[in-house]
Structure formats: structure tokens, C-alpha cells
């Protein structure tokens, strides 16, 4: 069973505020990911990390930033929230896959962000 | 351009019957396919995966079939239960190592199982 945690679960905030979404995993996974998902749409990868001190941008452009100072922790920060940032943010982690094993990602419960 | 397509936004089945969720893909380099289940306000939960070298993988009530020539996979749930009502996402991996290990997701199919 996967152990990956996200806080807060729900956040309502005003425009212009700085926010940090927390994500932690206890599985020792090297790879971690942040996705953005809206109802009826696919999960869009916005950031990922191969390991400590590694961060990469995903397929969907995002104004957020991430850091990976510890293996288990992968926070996402929005310096100035806007209504267009309203969405569900999902964090995931995985082992590095091989030719015989998939990069199965395990997801946290998500953070539902609403920017007024 | 979507590489993983789930063309049915929703599916409704009767409890006890079979649910068949479909997924098409365009990239012949995908080597692993995964199915996830998602309840509202929760994160996706991994269900089952299949390697591109296989054509079937089974786990309890869940079976995934892969037709490489048609670039099509399907998830069969037998028998369907009301607790299976959720959004099901198909995902694909193009190789492994580095960014190739990242998954590409479809838009999901909302399954409703009626008692």
C-alpha cells in the first residue's frame, strides 16, 4: 500500500497570495511528480523530479515552482495565486522503472485549490 | 494531439454485469499500459498494468486486454459492483529511464454501476 500524503486537502485563497502545497512519501521512491487535473480532463504533468536536487518541468506550462531537498518531500509553490490556478493538484511518486517493470505511480489524495 | 484516448466519457452498467472500458493510443513506442481508478476529491488508485509484450493480464475481477495491432486496450470488470463507480484513467509509458518513464493519461471514463 502506498504512503503518500498531501496537505492541505482543500484550500480557498485570495488572488495574489503565496501558497505552498505539501507532498511527502514514505516509500523511498526516487521519482516524484505534480499533476494538475480539472473535471473531465486528463492529468497534466506540471513538474517531476528524478531525485534529490533534481527538478524538471512537465508537459503543461505552469507558473508554479518545486524543490526536492529531501527524497521524501516535494513541495509546490505558487508565488502569486490567480483564479486561473483553481484546480486539483495531485502529487505522485514511483520507483524508477525498468524494461520489465512499469513506472507505477502512487498518488496522494490531492489538494483542491480555489483562488477567488 | 492526444496520444492516449478514452473516447467514452461515461458508461453505465447494471450491478453484476460486465463493464468494458476502452482506450486507444497512437504511439507505437508505448511499452507499458496502466489503469487507474479515481473517486471524486481523491487521488487516482493504481488498478492493473500490462506490458506491451503481453495481450492479457488478470487480477481478480479486473482483466486488461491489449491489441497492439489495433493500438487498443480494454479493461473488463466482472462482475461489476456499485463500489466500482468511479472515473477510470488509462495511462501509457514510453520506455523507461528519465522522462521516458513518465506516464501519459487519457481523459478518463466515468463508470456508474447501478444496483
Q: Which CATH number fits domain B4-114: 2.60.40.10, 3.90.1010.10, 3.40.50.300, 2.60.130.10?
A: 2.60.40.10
Domain ranges of chain B: 4-114
Band the pLDDT of B53: cuts 50, 70, 90: very high
CA triple B49-A1-B84, angle to 5 deg: 60
C-alpha gyration radius of chain B: 14
Report which DSSP code applies to A61. Answer: -
The predicted structure's pLDDT at residue B1: 73
Q: Determine contact, residues A64/A57, Cβ cutoff 8 Å.
A: no
Taking only the tens place, the pLDDT of each residue in A42-68 is 899 999 999 999 999 988 878 899 999
Band the pLDDT of B16: cuts 50, 70, 90: very high
The predicted structure's pLDDT at residue B98: 61
| Residue in the structure block whose three cell numbers are 490531492 | A110
| Average model confidence (pLDDT) across chain B | 93
Q: Determine contact, residues B23/B4, Cβ cutoff 8 Å.
A: yes
Asked if the Cβ–Cβ distance from A99 to B96 is below 8 Å, we say: yes
* Least CB–CB distance from A112: residue in B41, B93, B96: B41
* Least CB–CB distance from A97: residue in B2, B41, B101: B101
Domains and CATH numbers, chain A: 4-97+105-115 (2.60.40.10)
Does the pLDDT of residue B41 top 90, yes or no?
A: no
Residues contacting B25, CB < 8 A, separation 6+? B3, B4, B5, B33, B71, B72, B73, B92
Q: What are the CA-CA distances from residue B48 to residues A45, A65, A70, B85 (Å)?
A: 21, 32, 30, 17
Stronger pLDDT, B80 or B96, i.e. the higher one: B80
Q: Determine contact, residues B1/B63, Cβ cutoff 8 Å.
A: no
For chain B, the residues whose C-beta falls within 8 A of a C-beta of chain A are 2, 4, 9, 31-32, 34, 36, 41-46, 49, 51, 89, 93, 96-99, 101-103, 105-108
Asked if the Cβ–Cβ distance from B34 to A96 is below 8 Å, we say: no
Could you give the maximum distance between any two Cα atoms of chain B, in Å?
A: 45
CA distance B34 to B32: 7
Q: Determine contact, residues A44/A60, Cβ cutoff 8 Å.
A: yes
Give the residue ranges of DSSP H helices in A25-110: none
Q: What are the CA-CA distances from residue A8 to residues A22, A84, A88, B99 (Å)?
A: 7, 19, 11, 28
- What element of type H or E holds A13? strand A10-13
Question: Left if phi > 0, otherwise alpha if psi is -120 to 50, otherwise beta: which for B96?
Answer: beta
Amino acid at each position: 500500500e502506498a504512503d503518500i500524503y498531501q496537505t492541505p486537502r482543500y484550500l480557498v485563497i485570495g488572488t495574489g497570495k503565496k501558497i505552498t502545497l505539501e507532498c511527502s512519501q514514505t516509500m523511498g521512491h526516487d521519482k516524484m511528480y505534480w499533476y494538475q487535473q480539472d473535471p473531465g480532463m486528463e492529468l497534466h504533468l506540471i513538474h517531476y523530479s528524478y531525485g534529490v536536487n533534481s527538478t524538471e518541468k512537465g508537459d503543461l506550462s505552469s507558473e508554479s515552482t518545486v524543490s526536492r531537498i529531501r527524497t521524501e518531500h516535494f513541495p509546490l509553490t505558487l508565488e502569486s495565486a490567480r483564479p486561473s490556478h483553481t484546480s486539483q493538484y495531485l502529487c505522485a511518486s514511483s520507483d524508477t522503472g525498468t524494461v520489465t517493470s512499469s513506472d507505477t505511480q502512487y498518488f496522494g489524495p490531492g489538494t483542491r485549490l480555489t483562488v477567488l | 494531439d492526444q496520444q492516449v484516448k478514452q473516447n467514452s466519457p461515461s458508461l453505465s452498467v447494471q450491478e453484476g454485469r460486465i463493464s468494458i472500458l476502452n482506450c486507444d493510443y497512437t504511439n507505437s513506442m508505448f511499452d507499458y499500459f496502466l489503469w487507474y481508478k479515481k473517486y471524486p476529491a481523491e487521488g487516482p488508485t493504481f488498478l492493473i498494468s500490462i506490458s506491451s509484450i503481453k495481450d492479457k493480464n488478470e487480477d481478480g475481477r479486473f482483466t486488461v486486454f491489449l491489441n497492439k495491432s489495433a493500438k487498443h486496450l480494454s479493461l473488463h470488470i466482472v462482475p461489476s459492483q456499485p463500489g466500482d463507480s468511479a472515473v477510470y484513467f488509462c495511462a501509457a509509458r514510453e520506455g523507461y529511464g528519465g522522462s521516458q518513464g513518465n506516464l501519459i493519461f487519457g481523459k478518463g471514463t466515468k463508470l456508474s454501476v447501478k444496483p
